[in-house]
Structure 1
Amino acid sequence: AVEPVFIRFNGSLDFPSIYRGPPSPEIDAAWNGIANNLTQMTREEILKGGTSEAELPWKARYPEKIGGQYIGFMEAIHQLHCVNFLRQASWWEYYESIQEPVFQTTPRVVRAHIDHCIEMIRQNIMCRADTTMISWYWVQGETTPLPNFNTRHRCRNFDKIWDWSIKNSIHLAETEVTRSPDSVDLPRPQGHVHVHKE
């Protein structure tokens, strides 16, 4: 289990953060430092995570030369990837101009990716349903009260989670992953957008 930490969020509209602002190499490096990390999962771990024995042949694995474990990454990392992608989409012209790979597909695929990320974040927020109360206060010069988003939260220690993710990471391009002899294709779901060929 990951021990909790208590953190006061800074919800100020103009709070300076390495994760916000116009695109720059520094901001991209900060996001890439927390939102991209594939890890490996043992057979026991993938079964414990909810995969059934019948589903195992559908699951992608790393090549035997690097252990042959199952490919995975934590949902938190996926959610950060999605927030980063939405950030990039808000600066679409810039990321398209520097040939960011995700913007080099068709507009339909990019739109599907955006909608996927919005939906995944919505589901996660509704699943976790943070019940921290946000109070309102009077601010000098304002005619109506404003919400105080600087709230205290009981959080998981992300640094510890990230350390585990780094320790268990695999640095291998998707194109270097080959099918194991016993792999089986998952039937293509209705409405599935082919992310590599459309």
Structure 2
Amino acid sequence: MDPNQYIAEVELGDVEEQETLLPSDQRISFDTISTKHRSIQHYSAVLAGIFFLLSSFAVVEIWRKPSEAKCVKRLNGWSPMLDAVQYQRVDFKDESNVSFMGIPTAHLEKKWDDLWRFGSLGIPETYLPYLNKSVSEYDWHHLPSELGGGIQAYFEGFHQIHCLNLVRQYTYRHEYDYSHVHAFVNPHIDILEHVEHCLEILRTKIMCEADTTLYSAAHDLERGSNGPIHTFYSRWTRSEEMSVSDDRSKPSNSLWIIRNEIWRSVTITKQFLPKSLYALVD
């Protein structure tokens, strides 16, 4: 007999003998053990697959859900200011900020001017396609080369606040001397025509971005706020990261602007600008 066959028969006999020595209720079938093992492997694979699918679904949903910053970029044209927008939710009352209201004074005029007088900046011609425009479309005004060059551009948000301010000033034109304000003495455009232009700018803005927030009515307004809760841009720039200088020498990390016909610069740190605009501030 083949020695290997003999050893195999002896070992098999030993196993069978051991099985017969165990009580019937303690005997374990090797087939049963193998079946249970396969079942555990099967359930583990199913659970792993379910976990993977749920994780993938969660990642896709998070990726698809637009952030506030993405919403702003979808609702606005390209601008180097997009990454500087901040948000906060505010429940405010009517006439909640009276510091911008009332009969004009020098202090009040300065507060309004500080909201929007940030001048202009130079945009490279290569960025015109981002604005859906072309070099040959208009006779663009360029900034001097010593200020970095580029097509002169303004931030529309500041333009809109200027328009609101001009309407306010026109309302109080008989209570305050605005003879030093260019809009009131501009020989190229009548002040009323300018005001109507501004009203149209504001009407278009409001109608194109209609506010769907509910404005609730109340009999006793003194008991609480009847103003809506808004999520709005708390700042367009971060003041702690921006400074204005009359120095004509070009500082590092700066965008050049024209303000009140004086060469000035607005310093904005790179972290608030797209990488593609770094060339403007280097």
TM-score by shorter chain over 0.5: yes
> What is the correspondence of 1:150-161 to structure 2 with a 5 Å cutoff?
150-160=227-237
Q: Are residue 88 (structure 1) and residue 175 (structure 2) matched? A: no
Match of 2:134 in 1: 52
Shift of 1:101: 2.1
The gaps in structure 1 that reach 5 residues or longer are 142-146, 177-198
Q: Are residue 10 (structure 1) and residue 87 (structure 2) matched? A: no
Shift of 1:97: 5.2
Does the C-alpha gap of structure 1 residues 7 and 54 become closer, same or farther in structure 2, counting only changes over 3 Å? Answer: same
Shift of 1:95: 4.6
Note if contact 2:100-2:108 (Cα within 8 Å) is conserved in structure 1: yes
Aligned partners of 1:41, 1:108: CA distance in 2, in Å? 27
Note if contact 2:142-2:150 (Cα within 8 Å) is conserved in structure 1: yes
Q: Which of 258, 264, 271 is the aligned partner of 1:171?
A: 258
Aligned partners of 1:117, 1:89: CA distance in 2, in Å? 11
Aligned partners of 1:70, 1:107: CA distance in 2, in Å? 23
Aligned partners of 1:7, 1:17: CA distance in 2, in Å? 20
Does the C-alpha gap of structure 1 residues 94 and 59 become closer, same or farther in structure 2, counting only changes over 3 Å? Answer: farther
Larger mean Cα displacement after TM superposition, 104-113 or 68-77: 104-113
Structure showing greater radius of gyration is 2
Q: Which of 181, 185, 200 is the aligned partner of 1:119?
A: 200
Shift of 1:18: 2.6
Shift of 1:153: 1.2
Match of 2:37 in 1: none
If the length of structure 1 is used for normalisation, what is the TM-score? 0.70
Shift of 1:175: 9.7
Does the C-alpha gap of structure 1 residues 9 and 27 become closer, same or farther in structure 2, counting only changes over 3 Å? Answer: farther
Q: Are residue 40 (structure 1) and residue 127 (structure 2) matched? A: no
Cα RMSD (Å): 3.2
> What is the correspondence of 1:175-190 to structure 2 with a 5 Å cutoff?
none
Identity of aligned residues (%): 22
Q: Which has the higher contact order (CA 8 A, sep 6+)?
A: 1
Aligned partners of 2:193, 2:91: CA distance in 1, in Å? 31
Match of 2:40 in 1: none
The structure richer in helix per residue is 2
Does the C-alpha gap of structure 1 residues 133 and 12 become closer, same or farther in structure 2, counting only changes over 3 Å? Answer: same
Does the C-alpha gap of structure 1 residues 94 and 165 become closer, same or farther in structure 2, counting only changes over 3 Å? Answer: farther
Q: Are residue 71 (structure 1) and residue 158 (structure 2) matched? A: no
Note if contact 2:88-2:231 (Cα within 8 Å) is conserved in structure 1: yes
Between Structure 1 and Structure 2, how many residues are aligned? 168
The gaps in structure 2 that reach 5 residues or longer are 1-68, 70-82, 245-253, 264-282
